[in-house]
């Protein structure tokens, strides 16, 4: 037994020697250098084992804090069917309301939808979690124009959800020409003609912003004199305002309670889809351009599930479903082919470059924030 083994070993050894000699003398066919399939391991090292990365489990529920009427409810149902995760939604009416809720220690939310300037404020206050981009592969669907926003470089904390403008919704039967200037809301001669028949947004930055634009100032001014002028203008205007409202202004137009509304593009267009008398115009002096974003609060206990949901919302068909419901513009380029052409080709929803040029983003005004808030309180408290 031992001899037979040795004998086989001797034969094998001579064969190897012969082959080595042939190769050294250039005999036989040249062979390519073999590429090791695996990195070499030293004899003392244990062979590499496969690393098992466990997928975190999906939560049973996801709590989203959103603007009202801002998603097709069918999307929540579809997500629940596909992933077994129930979505629970609460709504807010302004960025400041959302911020106050988080600052007060609300911990139950997994996804929130702040606008641009508010994202910056929340990042600075440490209120947002950083996204794990590997859980959101559909980020590639975001239009490059929105993929590196100055308020959140590289989308590290948030993903753009919808964008739009803030202008004037109106009843076409009441106006011979579109009310295409803020003067319709602020010039005493014009605004008084519509006394009690128009609403203004219940929103400090939007409403002060509209007054500042009418006066020819930046809507991010920190100049106290300009801000006081805007305050006086809004106090003067108050006698003609039906209500400060951010959630029903479009319904009030349809119900003929009002004939004009300071409001967000998509909300007015959803009313227009229901009532052909309603239309929307971006004032010629310029207006607000904004983007709302999907973000995860630092306090969320379900970050992975929230990322899975954000990724789902970025699916092309789902992205289109959102815009086909809200009538706001989508930052999802891959969704474009599924978006209703009536929306996609509407210049008041997707404004052309010459209009975009006149629009201004709201920015964090930093130390001037308390002044804005004080002015807003004064306006709300003023008679009548
Ligand atoms: N109905 C949904 C309205 C969302 C509007 N968000 C825009 C905020 C801009 N400051």
SS3 per residue for 235-304 = HHHHHHEEEECCCCHHHHHHCCCCCEEEEEHHHHHHHHHHCCCEEEECCCCCCEEEEEEEECECCCCCHH
Q: Which of 76, 133, 129 is nearest to 102 (CA)?
A: 129
Given a cut of 60, whether residue 24 has pLDDT beyond it is no
Give yes or no: residues 270 and 176 share one domain.
yes
Overall average pLDDT of the 323-328 stretch: 98
* Ligand 1 nearest atom to the CA of residue 203, by list position: 10
Nearest CA to ligand 1 atom 6: 292
Task: Indicate whether residue 92 lines ligand 1 (CB < 6 A).
Answer: no
Higher pLDDT, 19 or 82: 82
Give yes or no: residues 280 and 315 share one domain.
no
Residue 39 belongs to a domain: no
CA of 113 to the centre of ligand 1 (A): 9
Tell me the C-alpha distance between 220 and 359, whole Å.
12
22-31, 91-100, 234-243, 303-312: range with lowest mean pLDDT: 22-31
Overall average pLDDT of the 259-268 stretch: 98
Given a cut of 90, whether residue 9 has pLDDT beyond it is no
Given a cut of 70, whether residue 6 has pLDDT beyond it is no
Task: Indicate whether residue 292 lines ligand 1 (CB < 6 A).
Answer: yes
Overall average pLDDT of the 307-318 stretch: 98
Within 8 A by CB and 6+ apart from 113, the residues are 64, 65, 66, 67, 70, 98, 161, 292, 293, 294, 295
Model confidence pLDDT, tens digit, residues 230-249: 999 999 999 999 999 999 99
Residue 168 belongs to a domain: yes
Give yes or no: residues 235 and 373 share one domain.
yes
Task: Indicate whether residue 162 lines ligand 1 (CB < 6 A).
Answer: no
Task: Indicate whether residue 290 lines ligand 1 (CB < 6 A).
Answer: yes
Given a cut of 80, whether residue 58 has pLDDT beyond it is yes
Model confidence pLDDT, tens digit, residues 188-218: 999 999 999 999 999 999 999 999 999 999 9
Residue 133 belongs to a domain: yes
Q: Which of 232, 187, 191, 184 is nearest to 208 (CA)?
A: 232
**What's the pLDDT score for residue 132?**
98
**What's the pLDDT score for residue 113?**
98
Overall average pLDDT of the 279-299 stretch: 98
- Asked if the peptide bond before residue 384 counts as cis, ω within 30 degrees of 0, the response is yes
**What's the pLDDT score for residue 15?**
34
Residue 236 belongs to a domain: yes
Tell me the C-alpha distance between 296 and 143, whole Å.
21
Give yes or no: residues 221 and 327 share one domain.
no
Indicate the pLDDT class of residue 344, thresholds 50, 70 and 90.
very high
Question: What percentage of the chain exceeds 90 in pLDDT?
Answer: 84
CA of 171 to the centre of ligand 1 (A): 21
Model confidence pLDDT, tens digit, residues 91-111: 999 999 999 999 999 889 999
Model confidence pLDDT, tens digit, residues 158-186: 999 999 999 999 999 999 999 999 999 99
Given a cut of 50, whether residue 30 has pLDDT beyond it is no
Indicate the pLDDT class of residue 49, thresholds 50, 70 and 90.
low
Overall average pLDDT of the 277-293 stretch: 98
Residue 322 belongs to a domain: yes
CA of 291 to the centre of ligand 1 (A): 8
* Ligand 1 nearest atom to the CA of residue 164, by list position: 7
Task: Indicate whether residue 79 lines ligand 1 (CB < 6 A).
Answer: no
Indicate the pLDDT class of residue 70, thresholds 50, 70 and 90.
very high
Give yes or no: residues 131 and 253 share one domain.
no
Give yes or no: residues 254 and 369 share one domain.
yes
Indicate the pLDDT class of residue 16, thresholds 50, 70 and 90.
very low
User: Cα–Cα–Cα angle for 365, 127, 224, nearest 5°?
Assistant: 15
**What's the pLDDT score for residue 173?**
98
Question: What percentage of the chain exceeds 70 in pLDDT?
Answer: 86
**What's the pLDDT score for residue 107?**
87
CA of 49 to the centre of ligand 1 (A): 51
**Which of 115, 121, 295 to mutate to test ligand 1, by most ligand atoms within 8 A of the CB atom?**
115
**Which of 70, 89, 362 to mutate to test ligand 1, by most ligand atoms within 8 A of the CB atom?**
70
**Which of 162, 204, 292 to mutate to test ligand 1, by most ligand atoms within 8 A of the CB atom?**
292
Overall average pLDDT of the 317-338 stretch: 98
Give yes or no: residues 158 and 180 share one domain.
no
Give yes or no: residues 122 and 86 share one domain.
yes
Nearest CA to ligand 1 atom 9: 290
Give yes or no: residues 214 and 270 share one domain.
yes
* Ligand 1 nearest atom to the CA of residue 205, by list position: 10
Residue 277 belongs to a domain: yes
Given a cut of 90, whether residue 315 has pLDDT beyond it is yes
**What's the pLDDT score for residue 215?**
98
Give yes or no: residues 248 and 377 share one domain.
yes
Task: Indicate whether residue 309 lines ligand 1 (CB < 6 A).
Answer: no
Q: What are the tokens at 273?
A: 């889809």
Q: For the domain that residue 370 is a member of, what is the CATH number?
A: 3.40.190.10
Nearest CA to ligand 1 atom 4: 67
**What's the pLDDT score for residue 115?**
98
Task: Indicate whether residue 68 lines ligand 1 (CB < 6 A).
Answer: yes
Give yes or no: residues 235 and 371 share one domain.
yes
Mean residue pLDDT of the chain comes to 89
What total number of domains does the chain contain?
2
Helix axes 316-326, 303-313, angle to 10 degrees: 80
CA of 349 to the centre of ligand 1 (A): 14
Tell me the C-alpha distance between 110 and 298, whole Å.
9
Give yes or no: residues 159 and 173 share one domain.
no
Given a cut of 90, whether residue 11 has pLDDT beyond it is no
CA of 382 to the centre of ligand 1 (A): 26
**What's the pLDDT score for residue 56?**
85
Task: Indicate whether residue 328 lines ligand 1 (CB < 6 A).
Answer: no
Residue 356 belongs to a domain: no
Residue 377 belongs to a domain: yes
* Containing structural domain, residue 202: 164-289+364-381
């Amino acid at each position: 037994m031992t001899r037979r083994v040795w004998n086989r070993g001797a034969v094998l050894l001579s064969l190897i020697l012969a082959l080595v000699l042939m190769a050294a003398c250039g005999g036989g066919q040249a062979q390519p250098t073999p590429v090791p399939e695996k990195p070499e391991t030293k004899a003392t090292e244990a062979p590499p084992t496969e690393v098992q990365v466990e997928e975190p489990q999906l939560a049973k529920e996801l709590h989203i804090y959103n603007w009202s009427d801002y998603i097709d409810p069918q999307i929540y149902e579809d997500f629940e069917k596909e992933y077994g995760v129930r979505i629970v939604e609460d709504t807010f009416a302004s960025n400041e309301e959302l911020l106050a809720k988080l600052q007060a220690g609300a911990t139950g939310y997994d996804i929130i939808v702040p606008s641009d300037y508010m994202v910056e404020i929340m990042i600075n206050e440490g209120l947002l979690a950083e996204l794990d981009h590997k859980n959101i592969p559909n980020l590639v669907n975001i239009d490059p124009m929105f993929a590196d926003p100055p308020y959140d470089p590289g989308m590290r904390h948030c993903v753009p959800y919808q964008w739009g403008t803030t202008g004037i919704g109106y009843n076409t039967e009441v106006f011979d020409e579109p009310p295409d200037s803020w003067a319709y809301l602020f010039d005493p001669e014009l605004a008084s003609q519509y006394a009690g028949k128009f609403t203004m947004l219940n929103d400090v930055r939007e409403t002060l912003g509209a007054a500042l634009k009418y006066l020819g100032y930046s809507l991010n001014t920190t100049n106290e004199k300009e801000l006081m002028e805007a305050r006086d203008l809004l106090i003067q205007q108050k006698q003609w305002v039906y209500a400060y409202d951010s959630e029903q202004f479009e319904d009030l137009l349809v119900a003929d309670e009002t004939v004009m509304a300071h409001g967000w593009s998509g909300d007015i267009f959803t009313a227009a889809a229901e009532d052909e008398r309603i239309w929307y115009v971006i004032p010629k002096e310029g207006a607000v351009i904004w983007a709302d974003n999907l973000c995860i609060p630092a306090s969320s206990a379900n970050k992975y599930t929230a990322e899975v949901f954000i990724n789902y919302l970025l699916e092309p068909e789902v992205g289109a479903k959102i815009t086909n419901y809200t009538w706001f513009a989508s930052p999802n380029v891959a969704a474009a082919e599924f978006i209703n052409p009536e929306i996609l080709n509407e210049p008041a929803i997707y404004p052309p470059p010459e209009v975009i040029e006149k629009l201004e983003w709201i920015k964090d005004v930093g130390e001037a924030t308390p002044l804005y808030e004080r002015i807003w309180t004064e306006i709300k408290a003023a008679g009548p």
